[in-house]
């Protein structure tokens, strides 16, 4: 097990998935990627194209197809990162989220069961907690009441994974990520603000009342934590574990706007707030306050390099090309 083994990353052409592929390859793993390129891009994997340790197959996980199942064969673990991650889309297109998140996860589980793959690492999310009454929110917080179809689809997937773990002995590492940001991201608040300010440097439309306060983690930290936990658990012997993966602090949407404006060298930008609900959310299903209790993760000996503000600033600089990705 471990270095030199073969692992699969679903959604490996996406934002987090492609950074995960980079890190796994750097640790000496052979890596197979399955992605339908619906939001990911081959450009994110160009550094691995044609290398002997690397396989890419374009496949849609919503259907159990031989072409992608063959990539799973012989894997010591599947890192399941393929999903539709757009919370806002889940409000208008719930079926899409059900299929891309729940059905796809079920098919991945079936492929693991049929092929005897021992381990699944799952990209879950802070949105499974909904509007948590305890902040920072620990992993054992109850009741889990997601307020978006996206959050519900991830929680349904978590539950399905738990049943496979109990029934079939699958080892499952469920990671509930905070907001992940960094180079190659193509959605979320930082990308949205940069795009809008490039179009109109005098005015910024902010979804919500700007007071939404959430925790952000740079993708390099997110991937580092993921591999730290994976390697740690492989050494320890374990069955099913859930970890929050985030930083210790949070930042408001208004503060993010200020950082983007400052880094773009702009001034006198008019902020125009667009609350979608009476309590100032950016869209229906938007969790207004999110901070994860990361004590369980930190007890394994891992700490983030950057806090939320630093992660935002670093991401803005990287997306603006002011800093090497």
Ligand X SMILES: NC(=O)c1ccc[n+]([C@@H]2O[C@H](COP(=O)([O-])OP(=O)(O)OC[C@H]3O[C@@H](n4cnc5c(N)ncnc54)[C@H](O)[C@@H]3O)[C@@H](O)[C@H]2O)c1
Backbone φ/ψ region at 74: left (φ over 0), alpha (ψ -120 to 50), beta:
left
Please identify, among the stretches 22-30, 77-85, 132-140, 160-168, the one whose residues bind ligand X according to the rule CB under 6 A. Answer: 77-85
8 A C-beta contact, residue 280 and residue 232: no
* From 81, 150, 216, 230, active-site residue: 150
State yes or no: residue 221 binds ligand X (CB under 6 A).
no
Q: In what order do the strands lie in the sheet with 171-177?
A: 54-58, 30-35, 6-10, 77-80, 119-125, 171-177, 240-245
Determine the Cα–Cα distance for residues 162 and 210; give it in Å rounded to an integer. Answer: 37
Determine the Cα–Cα distance for residues 26 and 222; give it in Å rounded to an integer. Answer: 16
Which is it for the CA torsion 279, 281, 286, 288, positive or negative?
negative
> Nearer to ligand X by C-beta: 8 or 34?
34
State yes or no: residue 128 binds ligand X (CB under 6 A).
no
Please identify, among the stretches 23-31, 76-84, 130-138, 226-234, the one whose residues bind ligand X according to the rule CB under 6 A. Answer: 76-84
| Residue from 7, 8, 9, 13 binding ligand X (CB under 6 A) | 13
Q: Bridge-partner residues for 33, per DSSP?
A: 9, 56
| Residue from 33, 87, 123, 290 binding ligand X (CB under 6 A) | 123
Q: What is the 8-class DSSP label of residue 63?
A: S
| Residue from 32, 40, 282, 285 binding ligand X (CB under 6 A) | 40
> Nearer to ligand X by C-beta: 41 or 211?
41
Backbone φ/ψ region at 227: left (φ over 0), alpha (ψ -120 to 50), beta:
alpha
Q: What is the CA radius of gyration of the chain?
A: 19
Query: Residue 248 Cβ, how far from ligand X at the closest point, in Å?
Result: 17
State yes or no: residue 60 binds ligand X (CB under 6 A).
yes
State yes or no: residue 223 binds ligand X (CB under 6 A).
no
Q: How many residues in the shown chain lie near ligand X by CB under 6 A?
A: 28
Which is it for the CA torsion 142, 148, 149, 151, positive or negative?
negative
**In the numeric block, which tokens belong to residue 64?**
């159990």
State yes or no: residue 67 binds ligand X (CB under 6 A).
no
Long-range contacts of 95-98 (CB under 8 A, 24+ apart): 97/149, 97/150, 97/153, 98/149, 98/153
User: Which backbone phi and psi does 187 adopt, to 5 degrees?
Assistant: -150, 170
State yes or no: residue 100 binds ligand X (CB under 6 A).
yes
Query: Residue 144 Cβ, how far from ligand X at the closest point, in Å?
Result: 15
| Residue from 38, 92, 133, 200 binding ligand X (CB under 6 A) | 38
> Nearer to ligand X by C-beta: 80 or 269?
80
Q: Are strands 30-35 and 6-10 parallel, antiparallel or unpaired?
A: parallel
- For residues 169 to 198, the per-residue mask of contacts with ligand X, x marking binding by CB under 6 A and - elsewhere, is --------x-xx------------------
State yes or no: residue 104 binds ligand X (CB under 6 A).
yes
Query: Residue 125 Cβ, how far from ligand X at the closest point, in Å?
Result: 4
> Nearer to ligand X by C-beta: 208 or 269?
208
Determine the Cα–Cα distance for residues 61 and 80; give it in Å rounded to an integer. Answer: 10
Q: For the chain, give the longest Cα–Cα distance.
A: 60
Please identify, among the stretches 1-9, 56-64, 247-255, 276-284, the one whose residues bind ligand X according to the rule CB under 6 A. Answer: 56-64
State yes or no: residue 20 binds ligand X (CB under 6 A).
no
State yes or no: residue 83 binds ligand X (CB under 6 A).
yes
150 is an active site residue:
yes
| Residue from 7, 9, 15, 308 binding ligand X (CB under 6 A) | 15
What count of other Cβ atoms lies within 10 Å of the Cβ of residue 81? 27
State yes or no: residue 242 binds ligand X (CB under 6 A).
no
Q: Which residues are catalytic?
A: 150
Query: Could you list the residues that contact ligand X (CB under 6 A)?
Result: 11, 13-17, 34-40, 60-62, 81-85, 100, 104, 123, 125, 177, 179-180
């Amino acid at each position: 097990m471990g270095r030199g083994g073969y692992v699969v990353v679903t959604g490996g052409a996406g934002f987090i998935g492609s950074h995960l592929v980079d890190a796994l390859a750097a640790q000496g793993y052979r890596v197979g990627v399955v992605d339908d390129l619906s939001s990911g891009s081959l450009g994110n994997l160009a550094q691995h194209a044609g290398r002997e340790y690397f396989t890419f197959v374009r496949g849609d996980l919503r259907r159990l197809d031989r072409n992608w199942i063959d990539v799973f064969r012989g894997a010591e673990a599947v890192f399941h990162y393929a999903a539709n991650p757009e919370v806002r889309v889940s409000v208008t297109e719930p079926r899409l989220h059900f299929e891309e998140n729940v059905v796809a996860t079920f098919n991945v589980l079936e492929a693991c069961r049929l092929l005897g793959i021992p381990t699944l690492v799952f990209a879950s999310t802070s949105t499974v907690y909904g509007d948590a009454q305890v902040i920072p929110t620990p992993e054992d917080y109850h009741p889990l009441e997601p307020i978006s179809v996206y959050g519900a689809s991830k929680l349904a997937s978590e539950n399905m994974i738990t049943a496979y773990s109990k029934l079939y002995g699958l080892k499952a590492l469920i990671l509930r990520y905070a907001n992940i940001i960094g180079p190659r991201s193509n959605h979320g608040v930082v990308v949205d603000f940069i795009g809008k300010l490039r179009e109109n440097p005098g005015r910024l439309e902010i979804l919500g009342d700007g007071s939404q306060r959430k925790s952000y983690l740079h993708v390099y930290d997110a991937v580092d934590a993921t591999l730290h936990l994976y390697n740690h658990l492989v050494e320890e012997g374990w069955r099913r574990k859930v970890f929050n993966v985030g930083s210790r602090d949070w930042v408001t949407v208004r503060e993010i706007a200020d950082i983007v404006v400052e880094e773009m060298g702009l001034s006198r930008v008019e902020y125009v707030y667009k609350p979608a609900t009476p309590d100032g959310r950016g869209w229906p299903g938007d969790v207004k306050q999110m901070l994860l209790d990361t004590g369980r993760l930190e007890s394994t000996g891992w700490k983030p390099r950057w806090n939320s503000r630093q992660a935002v600033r670093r991401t803005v600089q990287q997306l603006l090309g002011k800093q090497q990705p």
